[in-house]
Amino acid sequence: MSSIDHPFLRNPDKALFIGGKWVDAIAGRRMDAINPADGHRIATLAEGDAADIDAAVAAARHALEQGPWPRFTPAERQGLLLRIADLLEARSESFAVLDTLDMGKPVRFTRGAIPLLVDLLRYFAGAARTIHGSTPQTSLPGMFAATVKEPVGVCGAIIPWNGPLWASVLKIGPVLATGCTLVLKPAEDASLAPLMFADLCAEAGVPPGVINVVTGLGPTAGAALAAHMDVDKMSFTGSDATGRRIVQASAGNLKRLSLELGGKSPHIIFADADLAAAAPAAAMAVFVNSGQVCSAGTRLFVERSIHDAFVEAVVAHAGALRFGDGLSADTDLGPVVSARQHARVLGYVEAGVAGGARLVSGGDRPAGDAFGQGFYVNPTVFCDVADDMRIAREEIFGPVLAIFPFDSEDEVVRRANDTPFGLGAGMWTRDVGRAHRVGGALKAGSVWVNCYNALDPAVPSGGYKASGWGREYGPNHLEEHLNVKSLWIQT
Ligand code: NAI
Ligand code: MG
Protein backbone atom coordinates (compact mmCIF):
# COMPACT_ATOMS: atom_id res chain seq x y z
CA MET A 1 0.00 0.00 0.00
CA SER A 2 1.52 3.38 -0.90
CA SER A 3 1.62 5.98 1.83
CA ILE A 4 -0.68 8.73 0.63
CA ASP A 5 -2.32 10.96 3.19
CA HIS A 6 -5.92 11.42 2.16
CA PRO A 7 -8.75 11.50 4.71
CA PHE A 8 -10.76 8.87 2.82
CA LEU A 9 -7.73 6.56 2.54
CA ARG A 10 -6.81 6.55 6.23
CA ASN A 11 -8.93 3.44 6.38
CA PRO A 12 -7.82 1.97 3.05
CA ASP A 13 -10.03 -1.13 3.12
CA LYS A 14 -13.38 -0.15 1.67
CA ALA A 15 -16.73 -1.89 2.02
CA LEU A 16 -20.01 -1.91 0.11
CA PHE A 17 -22.66 0.64 1.02
CA ILE A 18 -26.02 -1.14 1.34
CA GLY A 19 -29.10 -0.04 3.24
CA GLY A 20 -27.16 2.80 4.87
CA LYS A 21 -24.46 0.49 6.26
CA TRP A 22 -20.90 -0.34 5.26
CA VAL A 23 -20.77 -4.11 4.75
CA ASP A 24 -18.28 -6.59 3.35
CA ALA A 25 -19.02 -8.59 0.25
CA ILE A 26 -20.96 -11.73 1.20
CA ALA A 27 -18.35 -13.98 -0.43
CA GLY A 28 -15.58 -11.98 1.27
CA ARG A 29 -13.55 -11.32 -1.88
CA ARG A 30 -11.49 -8.16 -2.28
CA MET A 31 -9.79 -6.32 -5.13
CA ASP A 32 -7.17 -3.56 -5.40
CA ALA A 33 -7.59 0.13 -6.15
CA ILE A 34 -4.54 1.21 -8.15
CA ASN A 35 -3.02 4.66 -8.73
CA PRO A 36 -2.26 4.69 -12.47
CA ALA A 37 0.52 7.27 -12.02
CA ASP A 38 2.80 4.65 -10.46
CA GLY A 39 0.90 1.35 -10.49
CA HIS A 40 0.80 1.28 -6.67
CA ARG A 41 -2.15 0.05 -4.64
CA ILE A 42 -3.83 2.88 -2.71
CA ALA A 43 -6.78 0.96 -1.23
CA THR A 44 -8.65 -2.30 -1.40
CA LEU A 45 -12.27 -2.66 -2.44
CA ALA A 46 -14.93 -5.20 -1.59
CA GLU A 47 -15.57 -7.33 -4.66
CA GLY A 48 -19.34 -7.62 -4.67
CA ASP A 49 -21.19 -10.10 -6.86
CA ALA A 50 -24.74 -11.23 -7.62
CA ALA A 51 -25.57 -11.93 -3.95
CA ASP A 52 -24.53 -8.40 -2.91
CA ILE A 53 -26.50 -6.93 -5.81
CA ASP A 54 -29.55 -8.85 -4.56
CA ALA A 55 -29.09 -7.36 -1.09
CA ALA A 56 -28.65 -3.84 -2.49
CA VAL A 57 -31.71 -4.12 -4.75
CA ALA A 58 -33.78 -5.37 -1.79
CA ALA A 59 -32.60 -2.37 0.27
CA ALA A 60 -33.44 0.00 -2.60
CA ARG A 61 -36.91 -1.59 -3.01
CA HIS A 62 -37.58 -1.33 0.71
CA ALA A 63 -36.52 2.33 0.79
CA LEU A 64 -38.68 3.09 -2.25
CA GLU A 65 -41.83 1.69 -0.70
CA GLN A 66 -41.41 2.01 3.06
CA GLY A 67 -39.65 4.26 5.49
CA PRO A 68 -39.36 8.00 5.14
CA TRP A 69 -38.33 8.35 1.47
CA PRO A 70 -41.72 7.93 -0.27
CA ARG A 71 -43.09 10.62 2.07
CA PHE A 72 -40.38 13.18 1.19
CA THR A 73 -42.04 16.19 -0.44
CA PRO A 74 -40.50 17.87 -3.50
CA ALA A 75 -39.36 20.66 -1.17
CA GLU A 76 -37.60 18.13 1.06
CA ARG A 77 -35.91 16.44 -1.90
CA GLN A 78 -34.80 19.88 -3.07
CA GLY A 79 -33.39 20.69 0.36
CA LEU A 80 -31.52 17.39 0.42
CA LEU A 81 -29.91 18.00 -2.98
CA LEU A 82 -28.92 21.53 -1.93
CA ARG A 83 -27.23 20.15 1.21
CA ILE A 84 -25.36 17.59 -0.92
CA ALA A 85 -24.26 20.38 -3.28
CA ASP A 86 -23.01 22.48 -0.35
CA LEU A 87 -21.09 19.57 1.15
CA LEU A 88 -19.49 18.71 -2.20
CA GLU A 89 -18.49 22.34 -2.66
CA ALA A 90 -16.95 22.44 0.81
CA ARG A 91 -15.01 19.21 0.18
CA SER A 92 -14.16 19.81 -3.45
CA GLU A 93 -10.40 19.60 -2.91
CA SER A 94 -10.65 16.26 -1.19
CA PHE A 95 -12.80 14.80 -3.99
CA ALA A 96 -10.56 16.27 -6.70
CA VAL A 97 -7.46 14.71 -5.17
CA LEU A 98 -9.16 11.33 -4.68
CA ASP A 99 -10.21 11.13 -8.35
CA THR A 100 -6.67 12.12 -9.41
CA LEU A 101 -5.14 9.39 -7.25
CA ASP A 102 -7.59 6.74 -8.43
CA MET A 103 -7.80 7.39 -12.16
CA GLY A 104 -4.93 9.71 -13.10
CA LYS A 105 -6.63 12.84 -14.40
CA PRO A 106 -4.50 15.83 -13.29
CA VAL A 107 -5.95 17.68 -10.33
CA ARG A 108 -6.30 20.85 -12.40
CA PHE A 109 -9.08 19.07 -14.30
CA THR A 110 -10.66 17.06 -11.47
CA ARG A 111 -10.79 20.32 -9.48
CA GLY A 112 -12.00 22.25 -12.53
CA ALA A 113 -14.98 19.89 -12.96
CA ILE A 114 -16.40 20.32 -9.47
CA PRO A 115 -18.17 23.67 -9.97
CA LEU A 116 -20.16 22.06 -12.78
CA LEU A 117 -21.03 19.09 -10.55
CA VAL A 118 -22.14 21.38 -7.71
CA ASP A 119 -24.19 23.32 -10.25
CA LEU A 120 -25.71 20.08 -11.55
CA LEU A 121 -26.83 19.14 -8.04
CA ARG A 122 -28.39 22.59 -7.60
CA TYR A 123 -30.06 22.23 -10.99
CA PHE A 124 -31.56 18.87 -9.95
CA ALA A 125 -32.59 20.47 -6.64
CA GLY A 126 -34.60 23.04 -8.59
CA ALA A 127 -35.91 20.39 -10.95
CA ALA A 128 -37.39 18.46 -8.01
CA ARG A 129 -39.94 21.31 -7.74
CA THR A 130 -40.92 21.26 -11.42
CA ILE A 131 -42.40 17.76 -11.75
CA HIS A 132 -45.98 17.98 -12.93
CA GLY A 133 -48.57 16.25 -15.06
CA SER A 134 -51.32 17.78 -17.17
CA THR A 135 -55.07 17.76 -17.61
CA PRO A 136 -55.77 17.04 -21.27
CA GLN A 137 -59.32 17.76 -22.44
CA THR A 138 -60.94 14.52 -23.52
CA SER A 139 -63.64 14.23 -26.17
CA LEU A 140 -65.58 11.71 -24.11
CA PRO A 141 -68.68 13.25 -22.50
CA GLY A 142 -68.52 13.41 -18.73
CA MET A 143 -64.92 12.26 -18.53
CA PHE A 144 -62.08 14.01 -16.74
CA ALA A 145 -58.49 12.92 -17.40
CA ALA A 146 -55.23 13.91 -15.74
CA THR A 147 -51.67 12.71 -16.07
CA VAL A 148 -49.55 12.16 -13.00
CA LYS A 149 -45.77 11.67 -12.88
CA GLU A 150 -44.41 9.02 -10.55
CA PRO A 151 -40.87 7.87 -9.80
CA VAL A 152 -39.98 4.99 -12.14
CA GLY A 153 -38.78 2.98 -9.13
CA VAL A 154 -35.57 1.15 -8.30
CA CYS A 155 -32.80 2.33 -10.63
CA GLY A 156 -29.52 0.62 -11.40
CA ALA A 157 -26.53 2.53 -12.73
CA ILE A 158 -23.23 1.23 -14.06
CA ILE A 159 -20.54 3.84 -14.61
CA PRO A 160 -17.08 3.97 -16.22
CA TRP A 161 -13.73 5.10 -14.86
CA ASN A 162 -13.08 8.23 -16.86
CA GLY A 163 -15.03 10.53 -14.51
CA PRO A 164 -15.97 8.60 -11.37
CA LEU A 165 -17.29 11.52 -9.30
CA TRP A 166 -18.87 13.14 -12.35
CA ALA A 167 -20.77 10.00 -13.29
CA SER A 168 -21.86 9.45 -9.67
CA VAL A 169 -23.38 12.94 -9.53
CA LEU A 170 -25.07 12.44 -12.90
CA LYS A 171 -26.69 9.19 -11.76
CA ILE A 172 -27.58 10.22 -8.19
CA GLY A 173 -28.93 13.74 -8.96
CA PRO A 174 -32.02 12.75 -10.98
CA VAL A 175 -32.72 9.76 -8.72
CA LEU A 176 -33.01 12.04 -5.69
CA ALA A 177 -34.90 14.74 -7.60
CA THR A 178 -37.62 12.30 -8.68
CA GLY A 179 -37.91 10.15 -5.56
CA CYS A 180 -36.42 6.98 -7.06
CA THR A 181 -33.82 4.77 -5.33
CA LEU A 182 -30.51 3.55 -6.71
CA VAL A 183 -27.97 0.75 -6.80
CA LEU A 184 -24.74 2.13 -8.25
CA LYS A 185 -22.00 -0.15 -9.61
CA PRO A 186 -18.82 1.91 -10.12
CA ALA A 187 -16.02 0.87 -12.47
CA GLU A 188 -13.52 -1.54 -10.92
CA ASP A 189 -10.67 0.80 -11.94
CA ALA A 190 -12.08 3.86 -10.15
CA SER A 191 -14.53 3.23 -7.32
CA LEU A 192 -13.22 5.48 -4.54
CA ALA A 193 -14.97 8.77 -5.29
CA PRO A 194 -18.36 7.05 -5.76
CA LEU A 195 -17.94 5.49 -2.28
CA MET A 196 -16.92 8.79 -0.72
CA PHE A 197 -19.83 10.53 -2.44
CA ALA A 198 -22.32 7.95 -1.11
CA ASP A 199 -20.93 8.65 2.36
CA LEU A 200 -21.47 12.37 1.81
CA CYS A 201 -25.06 11.76 0.66
CA ALA A 202 -25.80 9.83 3.85
CA GLU A 203 -24.31 12.64 5.92
CA ALA A 204 -26.54 15.13 4.08
CA GLY A 205 -29.59 13.12 5.16
CA VAL A 206 -30.32 10.66 2.34
CA PRO A 207 -32.27 7.89 4.12
CA PRO A 208 -30.80 4.38 4.32
CA GLY A 209 -31.33 2.29 1.18
CA VAL A 210 -32.02 5.22 -1.14
CA ILE A 211 -28.45 5.22 -2.51
CA ASN A 212 -26.52 1.92 -2.44
CA VAL A 213 -23.06 1.30 -3.89
CA VAL A 214 -21.80 -2.15 -4.82
CA THR A 215 -18.20 -2.24 -6.02
CA GLY A 216 -17.21 -5.25 -8.09
CA LEU A 217 -16.48 -6.51 -11.57
CA GLY A 218 -18.54 -5.89 -14.68
CA PRO A 219 -19.25 -9.47 -15.73
CA THR A 220 -20.39 -10.46 -12.21
CA ALA A 221 -21.79 -7.52 -10.19
CA GLY A 222 -22.56 -5.39 -13.26
CA ALA A 223 -24.22 -8.20 -15.19
CA ALA A 224 -26.32 -9.19 -12.15
CA LEU A 225 -27.59 -5.63 -11.76
CA ALA A 226 -28.45 -5.30 -15.46
CA ALA A 227 -30.35 -8.61 -15.41
CA HIS A 228 -32.07 -8.06 -12.06
CA MET A 229 -35.81 -8.72 -12.22
CA ASP A 230 -36.59 -6.15 -9.50
CA VAL A 231 -34.73 -3.22 -11.07
CA ASP A 232 -37.12 -0.91 -12.95
CA LYS A 233 -34.60 1.14 -14.88
CA MET A 234 -30.92 0.85 -15.81
CA SER A 235 -28.63 3.67 -16.76
CA PHE A 236 -25.31 2.64 -18.29
CA THR A 237 -22.31 4.70 -19.37
CA GLY A 238 -19.43 2.88 -21.02
CA SER A 239 -18.40 1.04 -24.16
CA ASP A 240 -20.80 0.10 -26.94
CA ALA A 241 -19.77 -3.56 -26.57
CA THR A 242 -20.86 -3.65 -22.91
CA GLY A 243 -23.91 -1.53 -23.81
CA ARG A 244 -25.10 -4.35 -26.09
CA ARG A 245 -24.74 -6.82 -23.20
CA ILE A 246 -26.81 -4.51 -20.98
CA VAL A 247 -29.57 -4.45 -23.59
CA GLN A 248 -29.63 -8.26 -23.70
CA ALA A 249 -29.46 -8.60 -19.92
CA SER A 250 -32.37 -6.18 -19.50
CA ALA A 251 -34.73 -8.29 -21.58
CA GLY A 252 -35.85 -10.48 -18.64
CA ASN A 253 -38.15 -7.86 -17.11
CA LEU A 254 -37.91 -5.38 -20.03
CA LYS A 255 -36.63 -2.70 -17.67
CA ARG A 256 -36.31 0.84 -18.97
CA LEU A 257 -32.82 1.65 -20.29
CA SER A 258 -30.72 4.71 -20.86
CA LEU A 259 -27.34 4.25 -22.49
CA GLU A 260 -24.41 6.60 -23.05
CA LEU A 261 -21.95 4.68 -25.20
CA GLY A 262 -19.23 6.97 -26.41
CA GLY A 263 -18.27 7.66 -29.97
CA LYS A 264 -15.84 8.57 -32.67
CA SER A 265 -16.73 12.20 -32.90
CA PRO A 266 -15.83 14.32 -35.94
CA HIS A 267 -14.29 17.76 -35.49
CA ILE A 268 -14.28 19.85 -38.67
CA ILE A 269 -12.01 22.83 -39.35
CA PHE A 270 -12.97 25.06 -42.29
CA ALA A 271 -10.29 27.30 -43.78
CA ASP A 272 -12.21 30.47 -42.85
CA ALA A 273 -12.12 29.67 -39.10
CA ASP A 274 -10.22 31.47 -36.36
CA LEU A 275 -7.33 29.02 -36.66
CA ALA A 276 -5.37 30.40 -33.71
CA ALA A 277 -8.29 29.43 -31.46
CA ALA A 278 -9.20 26.24 -33.34
CA ALA A 279 -5.78 24.54 -33.16
CA PRO A 280 -5.45 24.33 -29.36
CA ALA A 281 -9.15 23.47 -29.12
CA ALA A 282 -8.74 20.64 -31.63
CA ALA A 283 -5.78 19.29 -29.65
CA MET A 284 -7.56 19.48 -26.29
CA ALA A 285 -10.77 18.01 -27.75
CA VAL A 286 -8.90 14.72 -27.81
CA PHE A 287 -5.95 15.02 -25.41
CA VAL A 288 -7.79 16.23 -22.31
CA ASN A 289 -8.05 13.39 -19.74
CA SER A 290 -5.59 11.54 -21.99
CA GLY A 291 -8.36 10.93 -24.51
CA GLN A 292 -10.64 9.16 -22.02
CA VAL A 293 -13.69 11.27 -22.85
CA CYS A 294 -16.83 9.84 -24.44
CA SER A 295 -17.27 12.84 -26.74
CA ALA A 296 -13.54 13.24 -27.61
CA GLY A 297 -13.06 14.80 -31.05
CA THR A 298 -10.94 11.93 -32.34
CA ARG A 299 -11.52 12.39 -36.09
CA LEU A 300 -10.20 15.80 -37.11
CA PHE A 301 -11.20 16.89 -40.64
CA VAL A 302 -9.16 19.86 -41.92
CA GLU A 303 -9.86 21.74 -45.17
CA ARG A 304 -7.04 20.88 -47.56
CA SER A 305 -5.75 24.43 -48.13
CA ILE A 306 -4.83 24.76 -44.43
CA HIS A 307 -4.20 21.07 -43.65
CA ASP A 308 -0.41 21.02 -43.32
CA ALA A 309 -0.13 24.24 -41.32
CA PHE A 310 -3.00 23.16 -39.03
CA VAL A 311 -1.45 19.74 -38.38
CA GLU A 312 1.76 21.52 -37.42
CA ALA A 313 -0.09 23.78 -34.98
CA VAL A 314 -1.94 20.85 -33.37
CA VAL A 315 1.29 18.86 -33.01
CA ALA A 316 3.05 21.89 -31.51
CA HIS A 317 0.26 22.30 -28.96
CA ALA A 318 0.35 18.60 -28.10
CA GLY A 319 4.13 18.68 -27.73
CA ALA A 320 3.92 21.53 -25.23
CA LEU A 321 1.55 19.67 -22.89
CA ARG A 322 3.22 18.81 -19.58
CA PHE A 323 3.26 15.36 -18.06
CA GLY A 324 4.02 15.14 -14.40
CA ASP A 325 2.70 14.71 -10.92
CA GLY A 326 -1.08 14.71 -11.22
CA LEU A 327 -1.29 16.58 -7.92
CA SER A 328 0.78 19.50 -9.17
CA ALA A 329 -1.24 22.44 -10.49
CA ASP A 330 0.60 22.83 -13.78
CA THR A 331 0.34 19.24 -15.01
CA ASP A 332 -1.67 18.96 -18.23
CA LEU A 333 -1.56 15.24 -18.93
CA GLY A 334 -1.81 12.19 -16.72
CA PRO A 335 -1.65 8.47 -17.35
CA VAL A 336 -4.50 6.40 -18.78
CA VAL A 337 -6.44 4.52 -16.15
CA SER A 338 -4.89 1.05 -16.12
CA ALA A 339 -2.24 -1.26 -17.51
CA ARG A 340 -5.00 -2.89 -19.57
CA GLN A 341 -6.05 0.43 -21.10
CA HIS A 342 -2.40 1.36 -21.72
CA ALA A 343 -1.84 -1.85 -23.67
CA ARG A 344 -5.10 -1.33 -25.52
CA VAL A 345 -4.17 2.21 -26.62
CA LEU A 346 -0.68 1.19 -27.74
CA GLY A 347 -2.28 -1.71 -29.62
CA TYR A 348 -4.33 0.83 -31.61
CA VAL A 349 -1.16 2.81 -32.37
CA GLU A 350 0.42 -0.39 -33.74
CA ALA A 351 -2.68 -1.08 -35.81
CA GLY A 352 -2.50 2.44 -37.24
CA VAL A 353 1.14 2.08 -38.23
CA ALA A 354 0.58 -1.42 -39.64
CA GLY A 355 -2.39 -0.12 -41.63
CA GLY A 356 -0.20 2.49 -43.33
CA ALA A 357 -1.20 5.65 -41.46
CA ARG A 358 1.63 8.17 -40.90
CA LEU A 359 2.58 8.61 -37.22
CA VAL A 360 3.36 12.31 -36.91
CA SER A 361 3.98 12.45 -33.18
CA GLY A 362 3.74 10.40 -29.97
CA GLY A 363 2.69 6.77 -30.06
CA ASP A 364 4.92 5.80 -27.15
CA ARG A 365 5.56 6.39 -23.45
CA PRO A 366 6.99 9.76 -22.40
CA ALA A 367 10.71 9.56 -21.65
CA GLY A 368 12.04 9.69 -18.09
CA ASP A 369 12.17 7.46 -15.04
CA ALA A 370 9.23 9.27 -13.47
CA PHE A 371 6.90 7.69 -16.03
CA GLY A 372 8.30 4.16 -16.12
CA GLN A 373 5.86 2.70 -13.56
CA GLY A 374 2.78 4.62 -14.66
CA PHE A 375 0.42 4.06 -17.57
CA TYR A 376 1.47 7.08 -19.64
CA VAL A 377 1.03 7.59 -23.40
CA ASN A 378 2.44 10.54 -25.35
CA PRO A 379 -0.16 12.56 -27.26
CA THR A 380 -0.35 10.79 -30.60
CA VAL A 381 -1.19 12.24 -34.01
CA PHE A 382 -1.76 10.23 -37.19
CA CYS A 383 -2.08 11.67 -40.71
CA ASP A 384 -2.80 9.90 -44.02
CA VAL A 385 -5.50 7.85 -42.28
CA ALA A 386 -7.94 5.98 -44.51
CA ASP A 387 -11.60 6.36 -43.46
CA ASP A 388 -11.97 2.59 -43.02
CA MET A 389 -8.94 1.96 -40.77
CA ARG A 390 -9.63 0.72 -37.25
CA ILE A 391 -8.10 3.91 -35.79
CA ALA A 392 -10.65 5.87 -37.83
CA ARG A 393 -13.66 3.77 -36.78
CA GLU A 394 -13.29 2.41 -33.25
CA GLU A 395 -13.36 4.30 -29.96
CA ILE A 396 -9.76 4.16 -28.64
CA PHE A 397 -10.18 6.05 -25.35
CA GLY A 398 -6.59 7.21 -25.31
CA PRO A 399 -4.71 10.30 -26.53
CA VAL A 400 -4.82 9.33 -30.22
CA LEU A 401 -5.94 11.74 -32.95
CA ALA A 402 -6.51 10.90 -36.63
CA ILE A 403 -6.37 13.87 -39.03
CA PHE A 404 -7.97 13.84 -42.52
CA PRO A 405 -7.89 16.50 -45.26
CA PHE A 406 -11.16 17.37 -47.05
CA ASP A 407 -12.13 19.44 -50.07
CA SER A 408 -15.82 20.31 -49.86
CA GLU A 409 -18.65 20.81 -47.40
CA ASP A 410 -20.78 17.97 -48.83
CA GLU A 411 -17.84 15.61 -48.75
CA VAL A 412 -16.91 16.37 -45.15
CA VAL A 413 -20.50 16.01 -43.93
CA ARG A 414 -20.78 12.60 -45.61
CA ARG A 415 -17.46 11.40 -44.14
CA ALA A 416 -18.16 12.86 -40.69
CA ASN A 417 -21.46 10.95 -40.58
CA ASP A 418 -19.89 7.73 -41.85
CA THR A 419 -19.59 6.15 -38.41
CA PRO A 420 -21.79 3.89 -36.31
CA PHE A 421 -21.63 6.52 -33.54
CA GLY A 422 -23.25 9.93 -33.06
CA LEU A 423 -22.44 11.47 -29.70
CA GLY A 424 -20.73 14.79 -30.46
CA ALA A 425 -19.46 16.79 -33.41
CA GLY A 426 -17.53 20.04 -33.67
CA MET A 427 -17.05 22.64 -36.36
CA TRP A 428 -15.03 25.84 -36.71
CA THR A 429 -16.13 28.44 -39.26
CA ARG A 430 -16.93 32.16 -39.44
CA ASP A 431 -19.72 31.51 -41.96
CA VAL A 432 -23.00 31.51 -40.04
CA GLY A 433 -24.94 29.99 -42.93
CA ARG A 434 -22.54 27.10 -43.06
CA ALA A 435 -22.71 26.66 -39.29
CA HIS A 436 -26.48 26.12 -39.64
CA ARG A 437 -26.25 23.92 -42.77
CA VAL A 438 -23.53 21.65 -41.47
CA GLY A 439 -24.88 21.69 -37.90
CA GLY A 440 -28.24 20.52 -39.25
CA ALA A 441 -26.68 17.77 -41.37
CA LEU A 442 -24.42 16.22 -38.73
CA LYS A 443 -25.93 13.14 -37.07
CA ALA A 444 -24.89 13.73 -33.46
CA GLY A 445 -26.59 14.50 -30.15
CA SER A 446 -24.45 17.62 -29.57
CA VAL A 447 -22.94 19.88 -32.23
CA TRP A 448 -20.46 22.52 -31.07
CA VAL A 449 -19.66 25.51 -33.30
CA ASN A 450 -16.45 27.42 -32.53
CA CYS A 451 -16.12 25.56 -29.22
CA TYR A 452 -15.91 21.93 -28.15
CA ASN A 453 -17.34 19.89 -25.28
CA ALA A 454 -19.40 22.73 -23.80
CA LEU A 455 -21.78 21.37 -21.12
CA ASP A 456 -24.48 22.91 -18.96
CA PRO A 457 -26.95 21.25 -16.59
CA ALA A 458 -29.89 22.64 -18.57
CA VAL A 459 -28.76 21.38 -22.00
CA PRO A 460 -29.40 17.73 -22.96
CA SER A 461 -26.48 15.49 -23.87
CA GLY A 462 -26.67 12.06 -25.44
CA GLY A 463 -26.24 10.03 -28.54
CA TYR A 464 -27.64 9.37 -31.99
CA LYS A 465 -27.17 5.89 -33.48
CA ALA A 466 -24.89 3.51 -31.54
CA SER A 467 -23.89 6.27 -29.08
CA GLY A 468 -26.89 5.50 -26.94
CA TRP A 469 -30.49 5.88 -25.88
CA GLY A 470 -31.93 8.83 -24.01
CA ARG A 471 -30.45 12.09 -22.75
CA GLU A 472 -28.68 13.19 -19.61
CA TYR A 473 -28.67 16.81 -18.35
CA GLY A 474 -31.68 19.02 -18.93
CA PRO A 475 -35.39 18.23 -18.49
CA ASN A 476 -35.12 14.98 -20.49
CA HIS A 477 -32.85 13.55 -17.82
CA LEU A 478 -35.60 13.86 -15.22
CA GLU A 479 -38.28 12.43 -17.50
CA GLU A 480 -36.21 9.24 -17.91
CA HIS A 481 -36.76 8.69 -14.17
CA LEU A 482 -40.54 9.24 -14.23
CA ASN A 483 -43.53 7.16 -15.21
CA VAL A 484 -46.64 8.79 -16.62
CA LYS A 485 -49.93 7.60 -15.20
CA SER A 486 -53.22 8.63 -16.83
CA LEU A 487 -56.02 9.00 -14.36
CA TRP A 488 -59.61 8.82 -15.71
CA ILE A 489 -62.61 9.95 -13.72
CA GLN A 490 -66.18 9.49 -14.93
CA THR A 491 -67.86 12.63 -13.69
P1 NAI B 1 -16.79 -1.09 -20.09
O2 NAI B 1 -17.87 -0.46 -20.91
O3 NAI B 1 -16.71 -2.58 -20.14
O4 NAI B 1 -16.92 -0.64 -18.57
C5 NAI B 1 -17.84 0.30 -18.09
C6 NAI B 1 -18.59 -0.27 -16.92
O7 NAI B 1 -19.30 -1.42 -17.33
C8 NAI B 1 -17.71 -0.71 -15.74
O9 NAI B 1 -18.34 -0.35 -14.53
C10 NAI B 1 -17.69 -2.22 -15.88
O11 NAI B 1 -17.51 -2.88 -14.67
C12 NAI B 1 -19.07 -2.49 -16.43
N13 NAI B 1 -19.21 -3.76 -17.15
C14 NAI B 1 -18.29 -4.42 -17.88
N15 NAI B 1 -18.80 -5.55 -18.38
C16 NAI B 1 -20.08 -5.63 -17.96
C17 NAI B 1 -21.13 -6.57 -18.15
N18 NAI B 1 -20.97 -7.66 -18.87
N19 NAI B 1 -22.33 -6.30 -17.58
C20 NAI B 1 -22.53 -5.20 -16.86
N21 NAI B 1 -21.56 -4.27 -16.64
C22 NAI B 1 -20.35 -4.49 -17.18
O23 NAI B 1 -15.44 -0.44 -20.54
P24 NAI B 1 -13.92 -0.87 -20.22
O25 NAI B 1 -13.75 -2.33 -20.47
O26 NAI B 1 -13.54 -0.35 -18.90
O27 NAI B 1 -13.12 -0.06 -21.34
C28 NAI B 1 -12.99 -0.57 -22.65
C29 NAI B 1 -13.31 0.48 -23.67
O30 NAI B 1 -14.64 0.94 -23.50
C31 NAI B 1 -12.50 1.75 -23.60
O32 NAI B 1 -11.28 1.62 -24.25
C33 NAI B 1 -13.40 2.72 -24.31
O34 NAI B 1 -13.25 2.63 -25.70
C35 NAI B 1 -14.76 2.28 -23.93
N36 NAI B 1 -15.30 3.09 -22.84
C37 NAI B 1 -16.11 4.12 -23.16
C38 NAI B 1 -16.62 4.93 -22.19
C39 NAI B 1 -17.50 6.07 -22.53
O40 NAI B 1 -17.92 6.82 -21.66
N41 NAI B 1 -17.80 6.26 -23.78
C42 NAI B 1 -16.27 4.75 -20.77
C43 NAI B 1 -15.43 3.60 -20.52
C44 NAI B 1 -14.96 2.83 -21.54
MG1 MG C 1 -7.61 3.21 -9.85
**Domains parsed from the chain with CATH numbers:** 7-261+467-490 (3.40.605.10), 266-457 (3.40.309.10)
Q: Going by CA atoms, what residue is nearest to atom 13 of ligand 1?
A: 218
What pLDDT was estimated at residue 372? 87
Residue 59: how many other CB atoms lie within 10 Å: 23
Q: What is the mean pLDDT of residues 446-461?
A: 98
For this structure, is 260 an active site residue? yes
Q: Going by CA atoms, what residue is nearest to atom 7 of ligand 1?
A: 218
Distance CA 210, CA 56 (A): 10
**Which atom of ligand 1 is least distant from the CA of 344?**
32
Position 43 confidence tier, pLDDT thresholds 50, 70, 90: very high
Q: Going by CA atoms, what residue is nearest to atom 9 of ligand 1?
A: 187
Q: Is 65 a residue whose pLDDT tops 70?
A: yes
Among residues 47, 155, 201, 260, the one annotated as catalytic is 260
What pLDDT was estimated at residue 324? 83
Distance CA 404, CA 170 (A): 34
Position 141 confidence tier, pLDDT thresholds 50, 70, 90: very high
What pLDDT was estimated at residue 370? 83
Q: Going by CA atoms, what residue is nearest to atom 38 of ligand 1?
A: 238
CA of 237 to the centre of ligand 1 (A): 7
Listed as own residue / partner, the contacts of 325-330 with beta carbons closer than 8 Å and 24 or more positions apart are 325/37, 326/37, 326/100, 326/101, 326/104, 326/105, 326/106, 326/107, 327/97, 327/100, 327/101, 327/107, 328/106, 328/107, 329/107, 329/108, 330/108
For this structure, is 294 an active site residue? yes
Pairing mode of beta strands 181-185, 154-158: parallel
Give the CA distances from residue 235 to residues 154, 204, 260, 335, in Å, rounded to whole numbers and listed in that order: 11, 24, 8, 27
At residue 357, what are phi and psi to the nearest 5 degrees?
-75, 155
Strand partners, 22: 17
CA of 291 to the centre of ligand 1 (A): 15
**Which atom of ligand 1 is least distant from the CA of 186?**
9
Q: Going by CA atoms, what residue is nearest to atom 11 of ligand 1?
A: 218
Among residues 155, 180, 294, 383, the one annotated as catalytic is 294
Instruction: Say how far residue 136 (Cα) sits from the centre of its chain.
Output: 37
Q: Is 99 a residue whose pLDDT tops 90?
A: yes
Q: Out of 171, 242, 419, give the residue to mutate to test ligand 1, the one with the largest number of ligand atoms within 8 Å of its CB.
A: 242
Q: Are residues 216 and 25 in contact, defined by beta-carbon separation less than 8 angstroms?
A: yes
**Which atom of ligand 1 is least distant from the CA of 240?**
2
Task: Indicate yes or no: pTM above 0.95.
Answer: yes
Say which range, 51-55, 309-313, 372-376, has the weakest mean pLDDT: 372-376
Nearest to 171 by CA among 149, 147, 193, 189: 193
Q: Is 429 a residue whose pLDDT tops 80?
A: yes
pLDDT in tens, 233-277: 999 999 999 999 999 999 999 999 999 998 999 999 999 999 999
Position 3 confidence tier, pLDDT thresholds 50, 70, 90: low
**Which atom of ligand 1 is least distant from the CA of 345?**
32
Residue 1: how many other CB atoms lie within 10 Å: 13
Position 325 confidence tier, pLDDT thresholds 50, 70, 90: confident
Q: Is 4 a residue whose pLDDT tops 80?
A: no
Pocket flag, ligand 1, residue 187 (CB < 6 Å)? yes
Q: Is 57 a residue whose pLDDT tops 80?
A: yes
Q: Is 207 a residue whose pLDDT tops 80?
A: yes
